[in-house]
Structure 1
Amino acid sequence: MSIPTGDVPIGATVLALAEGATLTPVWANEIGGFTFRAQRADGTTRYIKYGPHNAEVSMFDEAERLSWANQYLRVPVVVQVGADHTHEWLVTEAIDGASAVDPRWIAEPRTAVTAIGRGLRRLHDALPVSECAWLWDPYSRIAGAEARGLTVPDRLRTPPSDDVLVVCHGDACAPNTLLDDAGNPIAHVDFGALGLGDRWSDIAVASMSTEWNYGPGYEDLLIEAYGVEPDRDRLAYYRDLWNAT
């Protein structure tokens, strides 16, 4: 995902979903989808995700997972989800916070990275494994990747044993943690891949993403903030699995 630059086309569907709100594009993804901030006349804000149908994850999947997770921790509240023959959309209520990759937090990387680690641990502790209906284990991820036509290296087909089984976020990269003004983690967004898996699946990706967003040298700080010692073998495996699938 990236912050859009230049003009972003706003189609009739997004305009209708906005219901007259002022639209600002805030994220663009690799398949041509966009997320818009919709600031309404009554002072409230919503977010509109709009993009082409995706074989990897659907917005209906995300809406279902958000509604479930909302029972246990702070996540965006679903307002509407829908689709036509080419695109899907998801409208959620805004949470009063800023992404961990907001320019303010890019300038304060140690605060942001610490918050991401603490927030991820909070998420793992809050979501009940026994109540989760979805999977994010290596076998499911490899099967999904192959169904999309990807070739997964044989060495990834034998994963390490689970350390601690949790409900994984599924895309625990830095932008998906929200911080308050004091730099505390308050919520997460982008739950389309949420499911059961080993905690290192999320830790590996979250720590790896610190280099993409803040530069080198922060991976172990995130792991320390999460509250564990680095497991180099599991980190390597789950980073390779992320890149391959």
Structure 2
Amino acid sequence: MVAGPPRSDVAVPARVTALAAGRPVRAVWENEMGGLTFEVGADPDRCFVKWAPPGGGSDLADEAVRLSWAVAFTPVPRVLDQGADDEGSWLVTAALTGQSAVADRWKAEPRTAVTAVGEGLRALHEALPVAECPFTWAAEDRLAIARRRAAQGRLDPAKWDPAHRSLGVDGALELAADIPPHDRLVVCHGDACAPNTLVGADGRWSAHVDLGRLGVADRWADLAIAAWSTEWNYGPGWEDLLLDAYGVRPDPDRIRYYRLLWDLGA
């Protein structure tokens, strides 16, 4: 499956029901690994609960730490609670102003949405201080993760973009070992796909969500994926607009590299 709004009714985990404490619960997002996000309650006390099954590959404790650091510098969710038990892990955050850039309203206005994503990503990169960031998302670290997954038989080229499938695992890892020099180090979002930018009623970006992989890296680690995600979410033809909104010219070599590294799952 592809991450997005749930395509069918989902069972509400017992922990989410307990955290809701009688308030209404609505599933709003489901990811490829079985993780779920629920909207709980109503304004002014509305919040969101992310829940991940055991072994789902999503470390919500790591995300809580990153959010707690980033919230001092830029609009991101404020952590209200985080924990884990035998059934899964959870992260509770306060609601923010705005809707996902892939909400129906913004999918109907792709130019506005794509511009907001590009401008929002530039603002995030400018706001987060590299020198003070304790987290990394460096290509070298991600490549090491990809190699471990390959050794464990956990890489499946059939799930990659068609441009990468013919490389096979060994060929992809060989190409990924040739890391391009940094263009500019920033604190990257780590999953800068369009859904993770919130857009306000005025059509401007308002916040960012899902920062579980936030860390210092070349800005093209984010830009390559943010631009790619415009095709997934709005159709072809929007990549240049996103880069224009960010304020950068296309860099084909770095775009190719970081999209390959993304497909390697690191």
The bucket for the TM-score relative to the shorter chain is over 0.9
Q: Does 1:165 align with 2:191?
A: no
Deviation of 1:86 (Å): 3.8
Partner of 2:135: 134
Runs (5+) with no aligned partner, structure 2: 156-168
Deviation of 1:5 (Å): 2.0
Indicate if the aligned counterparts of 1:24 and 1:38 stay in contact, CA closer than 8 A.
yes
TM-score, normalization by structure 1: 0.96
Letter in 2 for 1:102: A
Taking the TM superposition and a 5 Å limit, the aligned residue runs for 1:183-194 are 183-194=203-214
Runs (5+) with no aligned partner, structure 1: none
Residues 1:55 and 1:156: Cα distance change in structure 2 (over 3 Å): farther
Partner of 1:144: 145
Aligned partners of 1:198, 1:9: CA distance in 2, in Å? 39
Deviation of 1:55 (Å): 6.6
Partner of 2:89: 88
TM-score, normalization by structure 2: 0.89
Letter in 1 for 2:70: A
2:12 maps to which of 10, 13, 17:
10
* Identical amino acids, percent of aligned pairs: 52
Aligned partners of 2:13, 2:235: CA distance in 1, in Å? 36
Q: Does 1:99 align with 2:119?
A: no
Deviation of 1:238 (Å): 0.6
Aligned partners of 1:180, 1:29: CA distance in 2, in Å? 24
Q: Does 1:231 align with 2:251?
A: yes
Deviation of 1:43 (Å): 3.8
Letter in 1 for 2:197: T
Q: Count matched residues.
A: 244
Aligned partners of 2:250, 2:117: CA distance in 1, in Å? 16
Q: Does 1:179 align with 2:196?
A: no
Deviation of 1:53 (Å): 3.3
Q: Does 1:26 align with 2:46?
A: no
Q: Does 1:211 align with 2:231?
A: yes
Deviation of 1:147 (Å): 3.1
- CA displacement, residues 18-60 of structure 1 (integer Å, 9 cap, x when unaligned): 12111110000111111000014x7421000011134744100
DSSP 3-state at the match of 2:73: coil
Deviation of 1:7 (Å): 1.3
Residues 1:54 and 1:228: Cα distance change in structure 2 (over 3 Å): farther
Indicate if the aligned counterparts of 1:56 and 1:144 stay in contact, CA closer than 8 A.
no
Aligned partners of 2:57, 2:173: CA distance in 1, in Å? 19
